[in-house]
Amino acid sequence: MNEPLNISDTTINLSTRTPILEIKNLKKSFGNKAVLNGFNLKLFEGENLVIMGKSGAGKSVMVKCLVGLMLPDSGSITVMGQDINALNRMDLDKLRTEIGFLFQGSALYDSMTVRENLEFPLRRHKHKFGNITDTEPLVLEALKSVGLENTIDLMPSELSGGMQRRVALARALILKPKIILYDEPTSGLDPITSKEIIELMRRVQQQYKTSSLIITHDVDCARVVSERMILLVDGVNYAEGTFEALKASTDKNVKAFFK
Ligand X SMILES: Nc1ncnc2c1ncn2[C@@H]1O[C@H](COP(=O)(O)OP(=O)(O)OP(=O)(O)O)[C@@H](O)[C@H]1O
- Catalog residues that contact ligand X under the rule CB under 6 A: 30, 35, 53, 55-61, 104, 217
* Cα–Cα dist 68/183, whole Å: 15
Q: Does 60 bind Mg ion (CB under 5 A)?
A: yes
Per the DSSP assignment, residues forming a β-bridge with 83 are 78
| DSSP letter assigned to residue 117 | H
User: How far apart are the C-alpha atoms of 219 and 177, rounded to whole Å?
Assistant: 26
- Give the shortest CB-60-to-Mg ion separation in angstroms: 3
**Nearest to ligand X of 40, 104 (CB atom):** 104
* Cα separations in angstroms, 114 against 33, 55, 107, 120, 162: 39, 31, 12, 10, 14
The CA radius of gyration of the chain, in Å to the nearest whole number, is 18
Name the binder of 30 from ligand X, Mg ion, none, CB < 5-8 A by kind.
Answer: ligand X
Q: Does residue 212 interact with Mg ion by CB under 5 A? A: no
Q: Closest distance between ligand X and the C-beta of residue 43, in Å?
A: 18
User: Which residue, 28 or 178, has its beta carbon nearer to ligand X?
Assistant: 28
In the complex, the smallest distance separating the C-beta of residue 80 from ligand X, rounded to whole angstroms, is 24
Q: Which residues make Cβ contacts (< 8 Å) with residue 26, sequence separation at least 6?
A: 36, 38, 39, 40, 62, 65, 72, 74, 75, 76, 77
Nearest to 245 by CA among 2, 11, 4, 3: 11
By CB atoms closer than 10 A (0-12, 13-18, 19+), residue 46 is middle
- Nearest-angstrom CA–CA distance, 99 and 67: 8
Binding partner of residue 53 among Mg ion, ligand X, none, CB cut-off 5 to 8 Å per kind: ligand X
Q: Which is nearer to ligand X, 119 or 218 (CB)?
A: 218
Structure letter (DSSP) for residue 224: H
Shortest approach of ligand X to residue 189 CB, angstroms?
Answer: 15
- Contact code string over 160-199 relative to Mg ion, x by CB under 5 A: ----------------------------------------
Using rule CB under 5 A, residue 97 touches Mg ion: no
CB of 139 to ligand X, least distance (A): 30
CB of residue 123 to ligand X, shortest distance in Å? 28
Binding site for Mg ion (CB under 5 A): 59-60, 104
